[in-house]
Amino acid sequence: MEDFISKKTARKTGIPDLVEVLRKQLSSSELSSLLLEVYQQKSEDLHAAALLQQYRQNIYVQPADTDMVEMLEKELQLLRFLRQQQYEPVELSPVAQFGSCAAVGTVNQKKIITAVRHTEVLADATNSLALHIADMKQQGIGAGERLRYCTVHRHVRAMQLPPGKGYTPHFKIACMAAAGRDTGNFEFELSTCTEQLQHIYTLLHTLFGIKIIYFKIQPRNGYSNGRALMQSLMDYLSAHLPYKIIADETPAENNYYKGIQFKAVVQAGEHEIEIADGGLVDWTQQLLGNNKERCFISGIGFSLLMKLFNA
C-alpha cells in the first residue's frame, strides 16, 4: 500500500520520491507547518453541501449509539471506586503525542489517526498514562513510590471494524496503569496483576451485574525469566483470588505485552467474550532508559459492556 501511494503521488505531482523528500528534507515542525497550510487552503475550498456529504461518508465522525447519560453515570461510579483503591483518575487530552503507540509498542502508525502539531488522535489511553508516569518520574515526582492512575476515555482507531451491528471506530475503554521498580521475587508483577484482576471483577459485578467466568493468563516473550514469572503468577493468583484462573499457553503473535498477558472472559448470551485485557509492558523502561522500571496496564471494554449488558 505504501509503495502504491508513493508511486501514485509521484505520478500526479511529477516529483519522484516525494514521500522520502518530505520525510528526510523537512523537520517535523516544517512538515507540520506545511500540512497546516495545505489544509487551511483546502478548507477554504470546502462548501457546506460538500461538508454534509463528507460527514455522512466518514465513519470516524458518526456519534456512538450508547446511552450517554447512563454511560457517564457508570463512568463516575467506576472512577470513584478506583480512586478508593489508590488509582488516581486522570482526564487525558483527546490527542496524544505523535508516536505514543508506535514508538514504544508494535502498533503500525497507519492504525492511528495522525494529526498535525506533533499529535495523533488518542488510540490507546494506557500509552498516554505511561507517558504521564514517565514524565513524573523523570521530574522526581513520586520517586520510589508505586504510581497508579486510571481513566475512562474515548479511543479512535483506524481499523477494519469486526462484523456485527453497533461497532464504531471510536469507543470508550476504562484503563488502569501502575508503575514501580523491580524489587525482586516478582513482587511488583504479582501484586499489581492481582489487584487489577480484583478491581475488574468487582467493577463488572457492581456496575453491570455480571460475573467473570474465568481469567486467562498467557505467557508472552520479551521478559527475562518469563517461565518462572508465569509459574509464580499462577501460584500467587490461586492463593490470593477466589476466581477461576486458567493458564493458556497457546502460541500467539503478540509483541505488545512482555512476560504475561491476561484476559477476562464473560458470558454474553450463548457466547463467551473477552471483555478485559491487560499485562506487563516495557514502555516506562524504554521511556526512562531503565530496565528496573515496571509497568502493568489493563483495559475494560466499556462501550461494549454498555451495548451488551445495559439493556
pLDDT digits 0-9 by tens, 213-226? 999 999 999 998 89
- Identify which of 225, 287, 236 has the alpha carbon closest to the alpha carbon of residue 258: 225
The pLDDT > 70 percentage for the chain reads 97
Q: What are phi and psi of 293, to 5 degrees?
A: -70, 145
What are the grid coordinates assigned to 155, written together?
A: 479511543
Q: What are phi and psi of 190, to 5 degrees?
A: -70, -50
Res. 166 pLDDT band, cuts 50 70 90? low
Q: What pLDDT is recorded for position 8?
A: 81
pLDDT digits 0-9 by tens, 134-164? 999 999 998 789 999 999 999 999 977 766 5
- Identify which of 221, 142, 230 has the alpha carbon closest to the alpha carbon of residue 186: 230
Give CA 106 to chain center in angstroms.
Answer: 12
pLDDT of residue 27 exceeding 80, the answer is yes
- Identify which of 263, 299, 294 has the alpha carbon closest to the alpha carbon of residue 281: 294
Question: Angle at the Cα of 306 (from 76 to 296), degrees rounded to 5?
Answer: 65
3-state DSSP call for residue 88? Answer: strand
pLDDT of residue 291 exceeding 90, the answer is yes
Q: What pLDDT is recorded for position 278?
A: 98
Average pLDDT, stretch 34-50?
Answer: 92
Q: What pLDDT is recorded for position 217?
A: 97
- Identify which of 250, 248, 256, 277 has the alpha carbon closest to the alpha carbon of residue 265: 277
What are the grid coordinates assigned to 229, written together?
A: 514469572
What are the grid coordinates assigned to 121, written together?
A: 488522535
Helix (H) or strand (E) holding 70: helix 68-84
Strand duo 119-121 + 95-97: pairing: antiparallel
- Identify which of 288, 276, 289 has the alpha carbon closest to the alpha carbon of residue 126: 276
Q: What pLDDT is recorded for position 16?
A: 81
Q: What are phi and psi of 75, to 5 degrees?
A: -60, -45
Q: What pLDDT is recorded for position 2?
A: 53
Strand 293-301: give its sheet, edge to edge. 88-89, 147-156, 170-181, 293-301, 271-281, 260-268, 212-219, 245-247
Strand duo 212-219 + 260-268: pairing: antiparallel
Res. 165 pLDDT band, cuts 50 70 90? low
Which residue did the predictor score with more confidence, 76 or 39?
76
Pick from 74-78, 199-203, 207-211: least confident: 207-211
Q: What pLDDT is recorded for position 304?
A: 93
Helix (H) or strand (E) holding 69: helix 68-84
pLDDT digits 0-9 by tens, 239-265? 999 999 999 988 777 789 999 999 999
pLDDT digits 0-9 by tens, 120-136? 999 999 999 999 999 99
Q: What are phi and psi of 267, to 5 degrees?
A: -95, 125
- Identify which of 135, 59, 61, 138 has the alpha carbon closest to the alpha carbon of residue 97: 135
Res. 4 pLDDT band, cuts 50 70 90? confident
What are the grid coordinates assigned to 4, written together?
A: 502504491
Q: What pLDDT is recorded for position 1?
A: 47
Q: Calculate the average pLDDT of the chain.
A: 92
| Gap between the Cα atoms of 273 and 239, Å rounded | 26
Query: Which region, left, alpha or beta, applies to residue 184 given φ > 0 means left and ψ of -120 to 50 means alpha?
Result: left
Helix (H) or strand (E) holding 270: none
Residue 90 identity (one-letter amino acid): V
- Identify which of 168, 133, 169 has the alpha carbon closest to the alpha carbon of residue 151: 133
